[in-house]
Structure 1
Amino acid sequence: MKDAMSSTIQSLRKILQDSIDSSPEKASIFFKTGPGDYAQTDKFMGITVPTLRKIAKDFLFLSLEDLGILIQSAINEERLLALIILVQKYKKSKEEQREEIYEFYRTNIRYVNNWNLVDSSAHLIIGAHLFKKDHYFLEKLSESKNIWERRISIVATLYFIRKSELDCTFRIAELLKDDPHDLIHKAVGWMLREAGKKEEKRLILFLYDHAHTLPKTMLRYAMEKLNNEQKAVIIKFKNSKSC
Structure 2
Amino acid sequence: MTSTADDVKRALGQLSKKTDAINLARFFKTGPGEYGEGDVFIGVRVPATRSVVRAHADLDLPEVTVLLDSPVHEHRLAGLLVLATQFDWAARAGDDALREKIASFYLDLVMRGRVNNWDLVDSSADRILGAWLYDRPRDPVFALAADDDLWRRRVALLSTFGFIRRGDASTTLEVAESVLGDRRDLTQKATGWMLREVGKRVDRDLLTGFLDRHAAAMGRTALTYACEHLTAEERAGYRAMR
Matches within 5 A, 1:194-209: 194-197=197-200, 198-209=202-213
1:192-237 Cα shifts (integer Å, max 9, x gaps): 000010211111111111111100000000001111011122223x
**Secondary structure of 1:113's match?**
coil
Q: Distance in 1 between matches of 2:85 and 2:7?
A: 21
Is 1:234 the counterpart of 2:231 in the alignment? no
2:4 aligns to what? 8
Q: Distance in 2 between matches of 1:11 and 1:203?
A: 46
2:226 aligns to what? 222
1:7-34 Cα shifts (integer Å, max 9, x gaps): 9333322211111155211222321112
Distance 1:235 1:12, change over 3 A: closer
Structure 2, unmatched stretches of 5+, are none
Q: CA deviation at 1:99?
A: 0.7
**Secondary structure of 1:78's match?**
helix
2:96 aligns to what? 95
**Secondary structure of 1:108's match?**
helix
Instruction: Give TM-score scaled by structure 1 length.
Output: 0.92
1:46-94 Cα shifts (integer Å, max 9, x gaps): 1010011111011111000000000111011000000011000000011
Q: Distance in 2 between matches of 1:194 and 1:30?
A: 25
2:25 aligns to what? 28
Q: Distance in 2 between matches of 1:12 and 1:71?
A: 12
Q: Distance in 1 between matches of 2:6 and 2:236?
A: 56
Q: CA deviation at 1:126?
A: 0.5
1:45 aligns to what? 42
Q: Distance in 2 between matches of 1:202 and 1:102?
A: 29
Q: Counterpart amino acid of 1:201? A: D
Q: Distance in 1 between matches of 2:180 and 2:148?
A: 15
Higher mean Cα deviation, 26-35 or 47-56?
26-35
Aligned residue among 81, 97, 102 for 1:84: 81
Distance 1:235 1:10, change over 3 A: closer
Aligned residue among 152, 155, 169 for 1:149: 152
Structure 1, unmatched stretches of 5+, are none
Instruction: Give TM-score scaled by structure 2 length.
Output: 0.93
Aligned residue among 177, 182, 195 for 1:179: 182
Question: Matched residue pairs, number?
Answer: 234
Q: Distance in 2 between matches of 1:140 and 1:75?
A: 28
Aligned residue among 15, 18, 24 for 1:19: 15
1:108 aligns to what? 109
| 8 Å contact from structure 2 (residues 157, 191) kept in 1 | yes
Structure with greater Cα Rg: 1
1:210 aligns to what? 214
**Secondary structure of 2:216's match?**
coil
**Secondary structure of 1:212's match?**
helix
Q: CA deviation at 1:42?
A: 0.3
Distance 1:214 1:47, change over 3 A: same
In the TM superposition, structure 1's runs of 4+ consecutive aligned residues that sit over 6 Å from their partners are none
**Secondary structure of 1:43's match?**
coil
Q: Distance in 1 between matches of 2:7 and 2:195?
A: 42
Q: Percent identity?
A: 35
| 8 Å contact from structure 2 (residues 5, 59) kept in 1 | no
Q: Distance in 1 between matches of 2:87 and 2:4?
A: 21
